[in-house]
Amino acid sequence: MNEMSSFWSTWITCIVLLNIFGCLWLLWWAGRKHDNDVAEGKELKHSFDGIIVIHNAMPRWWKVMFYATIVFSLAYLALYPGLGSFKGAIGWTSIKQWEHEIEKADNRYNRIFADYAKIGIEELAKDPEAVKVGQRLFGNNCSVCHGSDAHGAIGFPNLTDTDWLYGGDPETIKSSITHGRIGNMPAMAAAIGDETAIIDVAAHVLRLSGRKGSGNAEAGKANFALCIACHGPDANGNKTLGAPNLTDNVWLHGRDEASIVATITTGKSGAMPAFRNALSEEKIHVLSAYVYSLSK
């Protein structure tokens, strides 16, 4: 974090202190007995909208509370940061407070995660309490992409079905969370040819999953030979590469013809971040059990 310049530090300090002492002066000034010919408790000579003003001093309890707030504010600013770059007598910062809370949580919960780590993922996925813990980890770390219900979205896999790009066994799921994944389909427009040829390939791809496109599927089948290196000769995909199965009705980037044509033409790329630096191995173990439970 960048240090505050001396100018801004001085400016902020002056503004804060002027406001506090300004309130103190205003309280003192308002409590003085100003020169007038109206005794305390009597009506003043002016009124407004039918309201008659009586000359009364401010209540003592109210002034005491006001003075107390000023004393409190000065004490607070002496202890905590608030006067420019002055860090306060006790050296408190929000970052230190956050680190302290994390340390407390780790001391409290690490034992629980350590116990969970001794249990296999398949067995742990059957433990309702462990699944609840994993669900909270998922909500904090994975839901921004996969959704709070893990159903995914365009470009983000649904984790509740049985279709897995890299495999849905416990160890593969754990590896995906730990190390992340990088997927890439190259743009095929230059290799396949003109737009008509691309539409024909899309028609063949649609036919693989029992649907019909606007192009010539038979003509597209010949050009699909360029795709079998990743998707396989039977188009069932390749989990080693993360190449999807094209014969089912699960589509990561859209299942309509226009989406398939766009994918073939310009390619697709995606990345899942690695969580090995964000979560401990024990937490990843519990999170893996929760993800595994979603499709079971």
Of the candidates 124, 159, 164, 123, the one whose C-alpha atom is nearest the C-alpha of residue 142 is 159
Topology, domain 102-180+273-294: Cytochrome Bc1 Complex; Chain D, domain 2 (1.10.760)
Tokens at residue 284, please?
């990843």
CATH of 184-272, picked from 1.10.760.10, 1.10.10.10, 3.40.50.170, 3.40.50.2000, is 1.10.760.10
Mean pLDDT (whole number) for 127-153:
97
Residues 6+ apart with CB under 8 A from 204: 213, 215, 217, 218, 220, 221, 223, 224
Boundaries of every domain in the chain: 7-31+39-79, 102-180+273-294, 184-272
Query: What letter represents residue 266's amino acid?
Result: T
Beta strands in 217-267 (DSSP E): none
Counting beta carbons within 10 angstroms of the beta carbon of residue 255, is it exposed (0 to 12), middle (13 to 18) or buried (19 or more)? middle
> Comparing 29-38, 164-173, 180-189, 209-218, which segment has the lowest mean pLDDT?
29-38
Residues 6+ apart with CB under 8 A from 116: 124, 130, 133, 282, 285, 286, 289
For 87-123, what is each residue's pLDDT tens digit?
899 999 999 999 999 899 888 889 999 999 999 999 9
User: How many angstroms separate the CA atoms of 97 and 214, rounded?
Assistant: 61
User: How many angstroms separate the CA atoms of 3 and 143, rounded?
Assistant: 35
pLDDT recorded at residue 34: 59
pLDDT recorded at residue 56: 77
Pairing verdict, β 268-272 and 181-185: antiparallel
Give the DSSP H or E segment for 106. helix 94-117
Beta strands in the chain (DSSP E): 43-48, 51-54, 181-185, 268-272
Tokens at residue 181, please?
């994944």
Euclidean distance between the first and the last CA atom of the chain, given in angstroms as a whole number: 46
3-class SS string, 128-179:
HHHHHHHHHHHHHHCHHHHCCCCCCECCECCCCCCCCCCCCCHHHHHHHHHH
pTM over 0.75: no
For 247-289, what is each residue's pLDDT tens digit?
999 999 999 999 999 999 999 999 999 999 999 999 999 999 9
Question: For the CA atoms of 213, 214, 216, 218, what is the dihedral angle to 10 degrees?
Answer: 10
The two domains 102-180+273-294 and 184-272 share their CATH topology (first three levels equal): yes
Mean pLDDT of the chain: 92
pLDDT tier at 30 (50, 70, 90 boundaries)? confident
Residues 6+ apart with CB under 8 A from 261: 198, 199, 202
